Amino acid sequence: MKLIVLKTNLVDGLGTVEKAVNEGSNLPILKNILIEAGGGKIVFVATNLELAIEYLIPGKVMEEGEIAAPFSLLNSIIRNLAAERISIEEKDKKIVITTDNYEATLQGQDPKEFPIIPVVQDRAHRLEFNTASFREALGNVIVAAQYSDIRPEISGVYLEYSGGEAVLAATDGFRLAEQKLDQSSVKTDVEKISAILPLKTATELLKMFKEQRELIMAVEPNQVLLSAPNEKVISRLIDGSFPDYKAVIPKNPPHEVVVERQELINAVRLASSFSGRANDITLRSGDNKKHLEVYATDSALGESSYKVPAKLTGEKFSIVFNWRYLLDGLKIFSGADITLGIHSSERPVLLRNHKEPHLIYVVMPIKG
């Protein structure tokens, strides 16, 4: 194997597959990446046995072949080289890296020892997304996801396609985020499909597929393939049934608060400094229904009160929230205003924006 590749392309490739390299593994081969050269293509492959990433590297293939290379050492060398044109050659299981004024030899590994990357066979369960729309929706809902040993079915992001509509959702039991994708951004021949992407996979997807191209998703019962022209991700899926989260979304809340979103964000951040270890702050209606008070107190720190101009309908209320959960919800919206739909101090509160009807966030209050 002999390759000539530009440094910028190598850095991009190494940075992409790094997400699947398992440096902490007891299996030494998982600390390596597989370099494959054939058919005029150069491909970097990494896997941690749950997530596999393949990345197509632009470059010139002088001789075909493959080798498993130690990722950490290779990455360090490439990033510190000053030359732009780099030669990578395999000789007797060793990797020789050369530039005009530099040469290094790395000990490689037999490519046959590298784990076999699963192949997704069933292309019938295929969805095509607009990449930008998918990444936006994923980034909005993932804030509500959290890893759980006790309830693995919520340790990820739920994807459902049904009735011509694609939905992404996530919940940790204390908050919920859901975003519907515009029908024009999804193409498929299947009638219905659902899957739970592991949280780690979803997190890494946000760092990938940044080009404005189609993202193809092929789903099997236990694994999923996501691919774009230069990138491919294969991941296991979480086994189990996602909670019937739609049942907890508040319907027709009798009390509503419409407030300027950024000012409420500022108020929550200020109150958080006085929230103490409990992370609790109180939202309560003003006497004249013309402002929303964001209040926090701690015996050791003092107290804070911020009155945000607001439009309130319904009766007076006082609700205690975990400020981090509330702030996460406020930040995923982009509109100027935010509407809080309230039933009572012990029932979920709905955050929405009429300019973003496809996105909702639900947060549970802290019971007194």
Q: How many CA atoms lie within 13 A of 303 on its CB side?
A: 7
pLDDT over 70 for what percent of the chain? 98
What pLDDT is attached to residue 42? 97
CA 168 remoteness from chain centre: 11
213 pLDDT exceeds 80?
no
Higher pLDDT, 59 or 288: 59
Residues in CB range of 247: below 8 A, 6 or more apart: none
368 pLDDT exceeds 60?
no
pLDDT single digits (tens) 311-322? 999 888 999 999
List the one residue out of 11, 69, 74 whose CA is nearest residue 37: 69
The predicted model gives 349-360 an average pLDDT of 94
Question: What are the residue ranges spanned by the domains of the chain?
Answer: 2-113, 126-245, 249-363
What pLDDT is attached to residue 122? 60
211 pLDDT exceeds 90?
no
pLDDT single digits (tens) 114-163? 999 988 776 558 899 988 899 999 999 999 999 988 999 999 999 999 88
Higher pLDDT, 25 or 82: 82
Pair 75, 14: CB distance under 8 Å: yes
Write down the CATH superfamily of domain 249-363: DNA Polymerase III, subunit A, domain 2 (3.10.150.10)
CATH number of 126-245: 3.10.150.10
Looking at domain 2-113, its CATH architecture is Roll (3.10)
Pair 97, 104: CB distance under 8 Å: yes
What pLDDT is attached to residue 278? 80
The SS3 assignment for 273 reads coil
What pLDDT is attached to residue 367? 77
pLDDT interval class at 361 (50, 70, 90): very high
The predicted model gives 239-243 an average pLDDT of 93
List the one residue out of 255, 260, 248 whose CA is nearest residue 178: 248
191 pLDDT exceeds 90?
no
Q: Which of 35-39, 81-85, 295-299 has the lowest mean pLDDT?
A: 295-299
Q: Which of 27-41, 204-218, 326-340 has the lowest mean pLDDT?
A: 204-218
pLDDT interval class at 12 (50, 70, 90): very high
The predicted model gives 28-36 an average pLDDT of 96
pLDDT single digits (tens) 73-127? 999 999 999 999 999 999 999 999 999 999 999 999 999 999 999 887 765 588 9
Q: Locate 240 and state its tokens.
A: 């189990």
212 pLDDT exceeds 70?
no
Do 2-113 and 126-245 show the same overall fold?
yes
Name the DSSP class of 109.
B
Average pLDDT, the chain: 92
Burial class (CB in 10 A: 0-12, 13-18, 19+), 266: middle
What pLDDT is attached to residue 221? 85
What pLDDT is attached to residue 315? 86
Secondary structure of the chain in HEC code, one letter for each residue = CEEEEEHHHHHHHHHHHHHHCCCCCCCHHHHEEEEEEECCEEEEEEECCCEEEEEEECCEEEECEEEEEEHHHHHHHHHHCCCCEEEEEEECCEEEEECCCCEEEEECECHHHCCCCCCCCCCCCEEEEEHHHHHHHHHHHHHHCCCCCCCHHHCEEEEEEECCEEEEEEECCCEEEEEEECHHHEEECCCEEEEEEEHHHHHHHCCCCCCCCEEEEEECCCEEEEECCCEEEEEECCCCCCCCHHHHCCCCCCEEEEEEHHHHHHHHHHHHCCCHHHCEEEEEECCCCCEEEEEEEECCCEEEEEEEEEEEECCCCEEEEEHHHHHHHHHHCCCCEEEEEECCCCCCEEEECCCCCCEEEEECCCCC
Strand order in the sheet with 192-198: 192-198, 156-162, 165-171, 175-181, 359-363, 349-352, 337-342, 255-260, 302-313, 291-298, 280-285, 318-322
pLDDT interval class at 263 (50, 70, 90): very high
What pLDDT is attached to residue 123? 59
